[in-house]
Structure 1
């Protein structure tokens, strides 16, 4: 099973979207700057706002890319408020 996850940093008031088989471990990597050139290196205070389980990695990647292509903070906040949007996106692919 794979997960789409959304992180939020209150420090910089930004969201980060990613996918992983273990979102908790991935959060630790983001907060400890495991990957030096990562977008999340801007702060060490990321918090998981949403995790959404997907049947496979392809679905998780599809959702991640779809959300990132939208380039919209409002869209991300809509998803957080109503995660069923993610199922609708997958049904339309």
Structure 2
């Protein structure tokens, strides 16, 4: 099956990390199948993405739900480094 959305990138930097490599890239092109587009955005339920876990293991997205996005002013400013942020409720 062909991906319904993909990013083309150029390699900016590679960083050795333990027994692996972190690849930092710059997105140069985005392609999205119109069938997954709704109201000017990619709809994750229409996209039905496959998620890479580790090794040969993959998963489907499953249930989709919404949480409010954290706000710097409301949730972060004034917290000490390493201090836990308040939990956001669904």
Specify the TM-score bucket, using the shorter chain as the normaliser: under 0.3
Name which one, 1 or 2, has greater alpha-carbon Rg: 2
Q: TM-score, normalised by structure 1?
A: 0.25
Between structures 1 and 2, the one with greater strand share:
2
Highest RCO, 1 vs 2 (Cα 8 Å, sep ≥ 6): 1
Structure with the largest fraction of helix: 1
TM-score by length of 2: 0.25
